[in-house]
Structures are given as C-alpha cells and as structure tokens.
Amino acid sequence: MLEQDISRIFFTEEEITACVDRLAEQVCRDYAGKTPIVVCTLRGAFVFAADLIRRLDLPLTVEFLSVSSYGSGTVSSGNVDIRLDIAENIEGRDVLIIEDILDSGNTLSHLIKELNARNPASLKLCVLLDKPERRMPGVVLRPDYLGFTIPDEFVVGYGLDYNQHYRNLPYIGVLKPDVYRS
C-alpha cells in the first residue's frame, strides 16, 4: 500500500546495507580503544542507528535525543525544539551523533552547538543522507561519516518519514509530490 506513493527507489536494501557496513568499518577504526557515547536522534535515525550499532565492535553506550524543526511539514520551520535530551553526562567523553539526514543544517547546527557546550572530548557526526543543495546560507556542516549525498528530493523509508508514515519501508524512495501537496 505504501509503495504506491513512491515515485522511484533511490537506494535499495542491499545498497543501504553496503553503506552501513562501510560506515561501521570507518567508525570502528576511528574509535578503536575508546568507549564512545552514541547519540541517536529520534525518530528518523533509529533504523539507521540500530543497524550501524549492531556492526560496531566497540564498547559503547547509547543515548537518544529528540530534536525537531519540521513538525508535520516538509520544510524546516527554523525553530529548533529539543523534545528529549540525553541523560548521560558527556563531559570528557567521545560522542558520535547518528542522524538520518542533513538538510538545511539548522537543526544539526543547533544540536552540535548545544552538545559542544557540554565539553565532550570529541564530537563527531555520522549522517546517512546529505542534501547539500538545501543548506541554509552560512551553515557549514560536514559529516565525519557520510552514507550518501542526494539531490533535493523528498525521500522516505528506512526510518525517514512524511507525517510519521513510511518509516517502515526497507529502502529509501522518493515520495510522489502529490502525496505531500494534498
């Protein structure tokens, strides 16, 4: 039923699996001998984070953070709201943020500024999808770990949603514009 709203598949399950494997290798190499705090941003990154974490052969702890600037729309409102904060103290710790998509950069810039103020030993960003065409002027964000760079199209699946739907698709697809314009 959900598939009828997808105009095309951007990344298959197999392509996503290969990407997660590649990212896990990079993270394991960079965090060897460390015990990072992995911060999963909810809700969009939970599928990606779960798959990535299962491939990390590292001692780690997991925290969840809910930050939003979208509400139920398709464009950032510009107002960032921390709905759920992490419980663990990150001062002096190595922190890895796992995010589903880097779009305007507004939300992630705010989050990184907030977490850096807590004095972690290091703070790195792992992003599944990057849409550099959507970056707001003046926002300079470069993920330390990047899955795919994509053009400015509205994508869903593999945790990404439109109005809380489509997260359960096993692939990443382009949502038909008539779905979110109606």
Give catalytic residues, as residue numbers.
103
Q: Which of 30, 154, 149 is nearest to 94 (CA)?
A: 30
Q: Strands, DSSP E only, in 31-154?
A: 37-42, 61-68, 81-84, 94-102, 122-130, 145-149
Q: How far apart are CA 89 and CA 91, in angstroms?
A: 6
For residue 155, what are the CA distances in angstroms to 3, 77, 108, 161?
13, 18, 18, 8
Q: Which of 155, 74, 144 lies closest to 108 in space, CA to CA?
A: 144
What is the CB neighbour count within 10 angstroms for residue 98?
Answer: 25
